[in-house]
C-alpha cells in the first residue's frame, strides 16, 4: 500500500501533540516521534500556516482550531457508519441501541437506532451525561487509567436510588466491567431503565461504546451473557470497520 512520507510524518506530529494533551514543545515531539528537529519544524510550519497547529507565545506548539471543523464532520460520519450495526443490535434485542464516546469528562451520545416497540427509549443523540450513572460511561471509564481522576473531577451525583455515588465503589464496578467485558446500568440514571453496553475497540484501545436500553421487565427477560456476546461481536465488526487493521 502506497504512502506519502511527509503526510505520514505530519500525522505523526499531530498525534504526538494530541498524546501530550494537545500542547508540546518541538523537542517533546522529537522525543516521541524520533524525527529530526529540522523535519519536525518544517512540518509544523506547514500545519501552522493552515491553522491545524498553533504556536503559543512561549513558542510551544498546540493543536489548532482548523481540526475542530474536521473532527466535527468526521464525528457525524462515524454516526452514519454505526447505523447498520446499531440496527443489528436492535434486531437482536428489540431494544433501542446507542453509540457513545467520551468527550472530555462527559459521555456524549453520537448515534441511535430506535426500538420498534411502542414503549421505548427516547432519542439521546447529542446528549451529554456524566459517565458514572450509565452503562456506556462505565465501559468507557473501564479502559482509562485515569478513571479515578475523571470521577473525582465530575463527582458522582445521585440520579436515582441505585446510582453508585462513591469513587471507591465505582472503581470496583469498573473492575467487574473489565472482567466480564460488558457494563450494566440497573436504573442508575433513570428508574426502571436498564442498559447493557459493550466496548468498541480500535485495536486495543476503547474508542466508543455501544449499548441497548429498555424497561426493566423486558431487559431482565433477555439472556445477558448471550446478548453481551452477540453485541461484542457486532461492536468488534464496527471497530474493525472504523479503524481497519494497518
Sites of contact with DNA (CB under 7 A):
2-9, 25-28, 35-39, 41-45, 55, 58-60
User: Contact between 128 and a second copy (CB under 8 A)?
Assistant: yes
Query: CB 177 → a second copy: shortest distance, Å?
Result: 22
Closest to 229 measured CA to CA, from 30, 46, 93, 36: 93
CB of 202 to a second copy, least distance (A): 7
Determine if 37 is a binding residue for a second copy (CB under 8 A): no
To the nearest whole angstrom, how small is the minimum distance from the Cβ of residue 198 to a second copy?
17
- How far is Cα 195 from Cα 243, in angstroms, rounded to an integer? 26
Q: Which of residues 151-210 bind a second copy (CB under 8 A)?
A: 202, 207
- The region of 25-33, 40-48, 89-97, 163-171 touching a second copy under the rule CB under 8 A is 40-48
CA distances from 31 to 26, 36, 103, 183 (A): 9, 9, 27, 37
Q: How far is the CB of 235 from a second copy (least distance, A)?
A: 14
> Over the range 51-63, which residues count as b (16 or more CB within 10 Å of their CB) and which as e?
ebbbeeeeebbeb
Query: Of a second copy, DNA, none, which one does residue 226 interact with (CB within 5 to 8 Å by kind)?
Result: none
Rounded to 5°, angle at Cα 90 from 229 and 186: 65
Which of residues 31, 36, 37, 68 is near a second copy by CB under 8 A? 68
Please identify which residue in the block is written with the cell numbers 431494544: 95
58/56 Cα distance (integer angstroms): 5
Residue 44 contacts residue 13 (beta carbons within 8 Å): yes
Span 77-96, contacts to a second copy by CB under 8 A: 77-78, 81
Q: How far apart are CA 72 and CA 120, in angstroms?
A: 29
234 binds a second copy (CB under 8 A): no
The option from a second copy, DNA, none interacting with 166 (CB < 5 to 8 A, set by class) reads none
To 5 degrees, how large is the angle CA 85–CA 221–CA 117? 55
Q: In terms of CB distance, is 7 or 91 closer to DNA?
A: 7
Chain centroid, CA 90 distance in Å: 20
Phi and psi of 156, rounded to 5°? -125, 65
* 1 vs 73 by CB, closer to DNA: 1
Closest approach of DNA to the CB of residue 98, in Å: 31
Q: Tell how many helices (H) and how many strands (E) occur in the chain.
A: 9, 9
**Residues in contact with a second copy by the rule CB under 8 A:** 1-8, 10-11, 14-15, 17-18, 21-23, 42-43, 45-52, 54, 62-78, 81, 101, 103-106, 126-128, 202, 207, 242-244, 246
Amino acid at each position: 500500500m502506497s504512502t506519502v512520507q511527509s503526510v505520514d510524518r505530519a500525522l505523526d506530529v499531530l498525534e504526538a501533540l494530541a498524546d501530550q494533551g494537545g500542547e508540546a514543545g518541538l523537542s517533546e515531539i522529537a522525543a516521541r516521534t524520533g524525527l529530526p528537529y529540522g523535519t519536525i519544524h518544517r512540518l509544523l510550519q506547514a500545519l501552522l500556516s493552515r491553522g491545524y497547529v498553533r504556536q503559543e507565545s512561549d513558542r510551544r506548539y498546540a493543536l489548532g482550531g482548523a481540526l475542530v471543523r474536521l473532527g466535527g464532520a468526521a464525528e457525524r460520519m462515524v454516526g452514519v457508519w454505526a447505523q447498520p450495526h446499531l440496527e443489528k443490535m436492535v434486531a437482536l434485542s428489540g431494544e433501542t441501541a446507542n453509540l457513545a464516546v467520551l468527550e472530555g469528562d462527559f459521555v456524549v451520545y453520537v448515534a441511535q437506532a430506535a426500538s420498534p416497540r411502542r414503549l421505548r427509549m427516547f432519542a439521546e443523540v447529542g446528549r451529554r451525561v456524566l459517565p458514572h450513572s450509565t452503562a456506556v460511561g462505565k465501559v468507557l471509564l473501564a479502559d482509562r487509567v485515569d478513571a479515578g481522576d475523571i470521577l473525582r473531577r465530575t463527582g458522582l451525583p445521585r440520579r436515582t436510588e441505585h446510582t453508585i455515588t462513591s469513587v471507591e465503589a465505582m472503581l470496583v464496578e469498573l473492575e467487574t466491567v473489565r472482567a466480564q467485558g460488558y457494563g450494566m446500568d440497573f436504573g442508575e440514571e433513570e428508574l426502571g431503565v436498564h442498559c447493557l453496553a459493550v466496548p468498541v475497540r480500535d485495536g486495543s484501545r476503547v474508542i466508543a461504546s455501544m449499548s441497548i436500553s429498555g424497561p426493566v421487565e423486558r431487559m431482565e427477560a433477555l439472556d445477558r451473557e448471550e446478548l453481551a456476546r452477540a453485541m461484542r461481536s457486532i461492536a468488534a465488526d464496527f471497530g474493525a470497520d472504523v479503524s481497519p487493521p494497518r
